[in-house]
Amino acid sequence: MEKKVSPHSVAVHAGDRKRPASAAGTDQPAFVPVTIPIHTAASYFYNDMEDLDRVFGNEMPGQSYGRYGNPTSDALEELVTALEGGAGALACSTGMAAIHMALSTALIDRRRSVVASHQLYGATLGMLAKVFEPVGVEVAYVDFCDEPAVAAAMEKQRPGAVLMETASNPLLRVPALDRIAALSRAADAPLIVDNTFTTPLIVRPFEHGASFVVHSLTKYLSGHGDVMGGIVVSDEANLAPLRALSRTVGFTLGPFECYLAMRGIKTFPLRMERQCASARNVAGWLSAQPEVARVYFPAEPNHPDAANVKRLFTDGLYGAMVSFEVKGADRDRIFRMMNALRMIVPATSLGDVHSMMLYPAMASHRDIAPKHRARLGIHDNLVRLSVGIEAVEDIIADLDQALRA
């Protein structure tokens, strides 16, 4: 049996060091770049027009037009495909573009109905409500941690697609991905999983039956806060429709961003391991503070989805996101705390090398009605912390002084 390669090695090597096809039979030395070059050409030609025709017809591999991809994006797609264990990938301009592509592909020639987790990133909820529902897609929102409710919704809706997050934003609920995938297969509905929070180091959704896996490349994979991008990885059954649709829609990620994302991914497993370890320490510290009413973190012994976490997550890794509620705080109190931060960055993102704090009611879930937010458990005293790679004692010291500001 072939030995499974560690994600640490895959992250460093997959997609790079392609040998040029033109080297054989020429006088040119067959040099190979150590890392993928940045290919900026908008179009490509061949010595023989028959070759270009075959490339356009998908009869042979090659490049034709920048909207369809280029060697740099191909390398990034190969890398993330290898990390996730899919059949192929599409690098997109943003994470939201990747979700749009996955949903649109899944609904081709299927019933225009989606069963979606009611706990999703605010922009994803907004896309469903403002983009897909107005064009006739029915969306049923369900608590994905209530498996009987998911099964009932599948039977009632007969969906064309199912959408969930591995760990929900921002309360870090962990649905039974494997069992929901089985329900999706029985309904012949592709399962789309946003794996941004957990990354393929912690959960590989294809191993549990997903059809599409989506990432915001901006977050943990790139990891340095300098790339805007997304990627959707597909199984074999949905790859051809995904690529065909991408040629028309044109959400393609540019070559500079692909290069930066690929450079960031080389160190992603190292960063993620450190961030996970620090987050666990931070969550434990927060749980002991009198100013903190509640901590949301998958390693907490009383986490409502502890059984799913144990079954699905890589041992000892629980992610690097920690959400917590400040006791009795309102918006002004939260703002005062965040203004007092000296090292942790109070900004709108996550997964960077630097720790970041976000106020969901103001940012990620701003467009969700306050009553709806409250029903979801996203209260006005909740903050979300993305733990970076700084010394954990410095992260805790900054939280300590800010909580008491």
Residue range 162-191: mean pLDDT, rounded: 97
- Cβ contacts of residue 81 below 8 Å, gap of 6+? 87, 88, 89, 233
pTM above 0.85, yes or no: yes
Per-residue pLDDT for 23 more than 70?
Answer: no
Residue range 222-236: mean pLDDT, rounded: 97
CA–CA dist 219, 227 (Å, integer): 9
**327 carries an active-site annotation:** no
Catalytic residue selected from 18, 54, 67, 263: 67
Asked if 82 and 15 touch (Cβ cutoff 8 Å), the reply is: yes
- CATH fold of 268-403 reads Aspartate Aminotransferase, domain 1 (3.90.1150)
Contacts 24+ apart (CB under 8 A), 302-305: 303/172, 303/174, 304/145, 304/173, 305/145, 305/173, 305/174, 305/175, 305/176
* Tens-digit pLDDT profile for residues 92-103: 999 999 999 999
Catalytic residue selected from 219, 271, 373, 384: 219
**220 carries an active-site annotation:** no
Asked if 154 and 160 touch (Cβ cutoff 8 Å), the reply is: no
Domain locations in the chain as residue ranges: 7-110+190-265, 268-403
**194 carries an active-site annotation:** yes
Indicate the pairing of strand 113-117 with strand 138-142. parallel
Q: Is 316 exposed, middle or buried (0-12, 13-18, 19+ CB in 10 A)?
A: exposed
Q: Please determine whether the domains at 7-110+190-265 and 268-403 fall in the same fold group of CATH.
A: no
* Tens-digit pLDDT profile for residues 380-389: 999 999 999 9
Share of the chain above pLDDT 90, in %: 82
Architecture of domain 7-110+190-265: 3-Layer(aba) Sandwich (3.40)
**342 carries an active-site annotation:** no
Catalytic residue selected from 74, 141, 173, 194: 194
CA–CA dist 190, 106 (Å, integer): 6
Least confident span in 57-66, 195-204, 339-348, 390-399: 57-66
* Tens-digit pLDDT profile for residues 27-61: 666 778 888 899 999 999 999 999 889 988 888 88
CA–CA dist 125, 375 (Å, integer): 15
Amino acid 344: pLDDT: 98
